[in-house]
Amino acid sequence: MKIGLAADHGGYELKNQILIWLREAGFAVVDMGAHTYDGADDYPDLVHPLAEAVSAGQFDRGIAVCGSGVGAAIVANKSKGVRAALITETYSARQGVEHDDMNLMCLGGRVIGPELARELVLAFANATFSGEERHNRRLEKLKKLENQPK
């Protein structure tokens, strides 16, 4: 599985830790930035390219980190086919993939500790979509909503 990572200044330190954890666990990981700390950067400039890469199939999954995780989730969900959520506990990290085929997890670098973050990242990365009929039916409904003319 190939996982892309992105973070602004609020998630920069946690993103760097996530990169190490995922590589230690055997995942192929691409760091899309920020590559240096810049207290004036903006999360849309970093998270949007990650979401677009997930949308295009360049990554199987993505993880975005900003200060609270809220901004990252908002911008990630602007990309077609991206199913992103702010995750704060392990049940949703796993179940979001299993039931909803969540493909981009958002975390708050200023509100979550490193040990919980590690558990969330590994639960998300190791989870598998169930493929059950009811879950596929729901995904098809989401796709129809995405493709409706405005």
Q: How many Cβ atoms are within 10 Å of 15's Cβ, its own excluded?
A: 25
DSSP 44: H
In the set 9, 66, 106, 135, the catalytic residue is 66
> Any catalytic annotation for residue 99?
yes
In the set 9, 35, 48, 99, the catalytic residue is 99
What is the H or E stretch that residue 107 is in?
A: strand 104-108
- Rounded to 5 degrees, what are φ and ψ at 146? -65, -35
Is the Cβ–Cβ distance between 6 and 50 less than 8 Å?
Answer: yes
Give the separation between CA 4 and CA 25, rounded to whole angstroms.
Answer: 15
CA 86 vs. chain centroid, Å, equals: 8
> Any catalytic annotation for residue 48?
no
Active site residues: 66, 99
